[in-house]
Amino acid sequence: MSDTSLFSLEGKKMIVTGASKGIGKAIALGAARAGADLAIGSRTRADLEPVASEIRSMGRECVVHTVDVGKLDSIRTFVDQVLADAGDIDILVNNAGCNRIMPVLEVTEEVYDEIVDVNLKSVFFLSQALAAHMIERGRGGRIINVSSQVGVVGGPLRAAYTAAKGGVCTLTKSMAAEWAEHGITVNAVAPTMTRTPMVEKAMENPGFRANIKKILLGRLAEPDEIASSIIYLASDASAMVTGHTMVVDGGYTAV
């Protein structure tokens, strides 16, 4: 096997949630360039179609289904539809997320539930469904969860989000421990602030914007810089890596 073939996803089928923009779009396109066929999901089909068209223009297959990852019924329908279309899935990337920038004292139960459901509950139940499929087929697989640097160190103005993303990091370890015997690796990537629509909106808050000064490299990450780490974890190059959270933060958590 050549050095470059270790990073190939040729012949693999991957699900990416939240794939219509930002990091999710970069993951889907990067995986297609690496040779994978895709199943992509988000709440709005119209937002997914341009991404699917770009993937197909590379000669890769891409199926599109809507999903509200905060709702269990929607998750189950999405998984059933994807498996019916694709027939098999080798890699799951739990990327969909949401955030609200506000002090703890202003967080309502409705806001808390939305953030935790989209960022943590979705990871639990999508992983559960796809791991069951991977175990049944008997060929292992890859599950990669998108956490956040604030899931590692915390931070002001996003307490519910940090709690959910911290949960993703520890959930990743627990799932890795349970499913290793089936050849399934489970890892997470914890990005720094990345140039995405969600972060651009959050940058309107001066308190959030001040966090850029904590990034040692002095800038926001680009979506492709996060996607490359996920492509690595999806590939054979990471075969001995499981239960790990890869922090891709430009040095934010180093000091």
CATH code, 165: 3.40.50.720
For helices 122-137 and 72-86, angle between their N-to-C axes, nearest 10 degrees: 30
Residue 156 lies in a domain: yes
Residue 72 lies in a domain: yes
Residue 63 lies in a domain: yes
Q: In this predicted model, what pLDDT tens digit does every residue of 62-74 receive, in sequence order?
A: 999 999 999 999 9
Check if the beta carbon of residue 191 is closer than 8 Å to that of residue 152: no
Note the residue count of the chain.
255
Number of domains within the chain? 1
Residue 212 lies in a domain: yes
Residue 254 lies in a domain: no
Question: What is the pTM for the complete model shown?
Answer: 0.95
CB burial string 47-85: b at 16+ within 10 A, e below: ebeebbeebeeeebebbbbbbbbbbbebbeebbebbbee
Q: In this predicted model, what pLDDT tens digit does every residue of 77-91 receive, in sequence order?
A: 999 999 999 999 999
Residue 27 lies in a domain: yes
Residue 255 lies in a domain: no
Active site residues: 161
Taking the C-alpha atoms of residue 64 and residue 52, their distance in angstroms, rounded to an integer, is: 7
Please give the pLDDT value at position 3: 63
Taking the C-alpha atoms of residue 179 and residue 222, their distance in angstroms, rounded to an integer, is: 32
Residue 253 lies in a domain: no
The residue range of the domain holding 204 is: 4-248
Q: In this predicted model, what pLDDT tens digit does every residue of 163-178 receive, in sequence order?
A: 999 999 999 999 999 9
Q: In this predicted model, what pLDDT tens digit does every residue of 103-158 receive, in sequence order?
A: 999 999 999 999 999 999 999 999 999 999 999 999 999 999 999 999 999 989 99
Please give the pLDDT value at position 14: 99
